[in-house]
Amino acid sequence: MLDLPTLRLATLRRLVAHAPPPLVFASDTPISIVEEALWELPFAKVVLVDRDHSLCGVLVAGDLPTERPPGLTTTEQIMETRIVFLAPEHDVEGALATLRAHHAEHVVVTLAGALLGVLSRADLERAYGMRRAA
């Protein structure tokens, strides 16, 4: 088990190695299909890609509406688009600072354009030993 000082210096590579791999869907996927996937894997993060296969959004179970108003049908209507991309060598403390500076909730960890994983602010705060403010 890692102690807190070690975790604070841990790289994002180490954290994504222990996180479930993200699910990947097209951004125009119906919400109901993503809902089904997240029911089966409630802690998963969904990465949404556009027609050019470029990452354009992130979605987690908490982003899904409990009641769907008329006209709300695709994931692109509810996905988080404020995304921070960082290399796996970044440390947890630096990643948290970057998320705060950009008012973002998720960091997408990539290496040479390849998706390694997605971490939420809460994931990073837990690794850093903080409690998320309600």
Does 133 fall in a domain? no
Res 128: pLDDT: 74
Does 45 fall in a domain? yes
Res 5: pLDDT: 45
Does 119 fall in a domain? yes
Does 134 fall in a domain? no
Res 71: pLDDT: 87
- Domain hosting 58: range is 4-128
The encoded tokens of residue 85 equal: 């991309």
* Nearest alpha carbon to residue 42 among 28, 63, 26: 63
Number of domains into which the chain is organized = 1
Check which CATH number belongs to the domain holding 52 and give it.
Answer: 3.10.580.10
Does 103 fall in a domain? yes
Interacting residues of 37 by C-beta distance below 8 A, sequence separation 6+: 23, 25, 44, 46
Query: Full-prediction pTM beyond 0.75?
Result: yes
Res 51: pLDDT: 92
Res 85: pLDDT: 95
Residue-by-residue pLDDT tens, the chain, 134 positions: 344 444 555 789 989 988 889 999 999 999 999 999 988 887 889 999 999 999 999 999 888 888 888 888 999 999 999 999 999 999 998 999 999 999 999 999 999 989 999 999 988 988 877 433 33
Does 115 fall in a domain? yes
